[in-house]
Amino acid sequence: EADIYQTPRYLVIGTGKKITLECSQTMGHDKMYWYQQDPGMELHLIHYSYGVNSTEKGDLSSESTVSRIRTEHFPLTLESARPSHTSQYLCASSIPAGELFFGEGSRLTVL
Amino acid sequence: DQQVKQNSPSLSVQEGRISILNCDYTNSMFDYFLWYKKYPAEGPTFLISISSIKDKNEDGRFTVFLNKSAKHLSLHIVPSQPGDSAVYFCAASDYNQGGKLIFGQGTELSVKP
């Protein structure tokens, strides 16, 4: 059973607000990922990290930023949210060359 | 350029029958393939995987077939159950690219009692 947690599960905010989506895992995995998914579409990789102090942008350009100060924690921040940021954000972690374990997701709505 | 494609957005199957979900890929460097199941407002859960050195992997009611020459894989669910109704995502990765998964668009499976 994977232990990866995301908060908040649901968030509705106004345009221009700063938000942070939290992601924590207790499995000691070095690799962590953020995917973005809209209904009926594929999951797009927006950020990934292979360990502490390592972060890279994914295949889909995103205005969000991430940090990896501790192995278990990989938060995603939007400095100024816009309606175009409305989406589901999925955090995941993995062992090397293994399957990804996903959190339950954070559904963000920007008004 | 979509590297992993699931061309059927939806599939409806009668309970007890076989469900076959298909996936095509274009990148010949992919060496690991996975299927995930996703309910609305939840994260995907891992179902089954297959390495490129195999052509079949089975786990209970779920079997994944890989045809490397056709760059095609399929997921068979036998027998299908109403609880299998969900969106199924195919994903692929290249070990030399650090194992990042590339996902298809998903197929929504509906199993009717």
Q: What is the mean pLDDT of each run of 10 residues along chain B (113 residues)?
A: 91 98 95 93 92 95 97 98 97 82 95 96
- My answer on whether omega of the bond before B40 falls inside 30° of 0, hence cis, is no
Instruction: Judge whether residue A90 has pLDDT over 70.
Output: yes
Shortest alpha-carbon distance between residue B87 and chain A (Å): 9
pLDDT, position B2: 82
**Taking CB atoms and an 8 Å limit, are A107 and B41 in contact across chains?**
yes
pLDDT, position A109: 96
Instruction: Judge whether residue A82 has pLDDT over 70.
Output: yes
**Taking CB atoms and an 8 Å limit, are A102 and B44 in contact across chains?**
yes
pLDDT, position A95: 80
Contact B61, B78 (CB under 8 A): yes
For residue A106, give the chain B residue with the closest CA.
B41
pLDDT, position B45: 94
Shortest alpha-carbon distance between residue B13 and chain A (Å): 19
**Taking CB atoms and an 8 Å limit, are B44 and A43 in contact across chains?**
yes
CA B34 vs. chain centroid, Å, equals 6
With CA atoms as reference, report the closest residue to B63 among B74, B51, B79. Answer: B74
- On whether any CB of chain A is under 8 Å from the CB of B42, the answer is yes
With CA atoms as reference, report the closest residue to B4 among B83, B97, B90. Answer: B90
pLDDT, position A2: 58
Instruction: Judge whether residue A98 has pLDDT over 80.
Output: no
Give percent of chain A above pLDDT 70.
Answer: 97
For the segment A2-55, what is each residue's pLDDT rounded down to a tens digit? 599 999 999 999 999 999 999 999 999 999 999 999 988 889 999 999 999 999
